[in-house]
Amino acid sequence: MALAIVSTRLSAAGLLGIAALHVNWATGSPWPLPDRESLAERVVGRSGGTVPAPAACLAVAGLLTAAAGFVAGRPRGRPALSRLGAAGVVSVLGLRGGLGLAGRTDLVSPGSVSADFRERDRRLYSPLVLTLAVLALPAVR
């Protein structure tokens, strides 16, 4: 039981950290990269492309925050809703991670095709997403 609590807390914290990163990008900051072109190439997957609009970054941050809430067992007074939400989070993260490992993130994020992005997606992003999904699994029960 204690391991399940630690696991879901780690997943929720990871989701909140990624949400904060998206809020940062919504302000126009390319951090942790040196410029917006690098961000478009390495994180979005668009060689010579543009980064998503601030509203899109904030929408993703909102969804990630809601996902963290479900994984953390919110709303506490509605456990069935919390479990259903957590199951959705695990499913979406699993799909995203699997597509990334297969080199097909472009199916859920059109334009994510640059070679640099695909390499990072296979090596870093998708394993992180799949780790968050596995850590969130106890929230489904």
Q: Residue 2: which residues within 8 A CB-CB, separation 6 or more?
A: none
C-alpha atoms less than 13 angstroms from C-alpha of 138 in its C-beta half-sphere: 15
% of the chain beyond a pLDDT of 70? 99
Assessment of whether the complete model's pTM goes beyond 0.85: yes
Spatial distance between the Cα atoms of 72 and 54, rounded to a whole number of angstroms = 27
**Closest C-alpha to 73, from 1, 129, 3, 138:** 138
Question: Residues for the chain: how many in total?
Answer: 141
- 47 pLDDT tier (thresholds 50, 70, 90): confident
- 48 pLDDT tier (thresholds 50, 70, 90): confident
DSSP 121-138: IIIIIHHHHHHHHHHHGG
Q: What is the pLDDT of residues 111-136, one digit of tens each?
A: 888 888 999 999 999 999 999 999 99
- 50 pLDDT tier (thresholds 50, 70, 90): confident
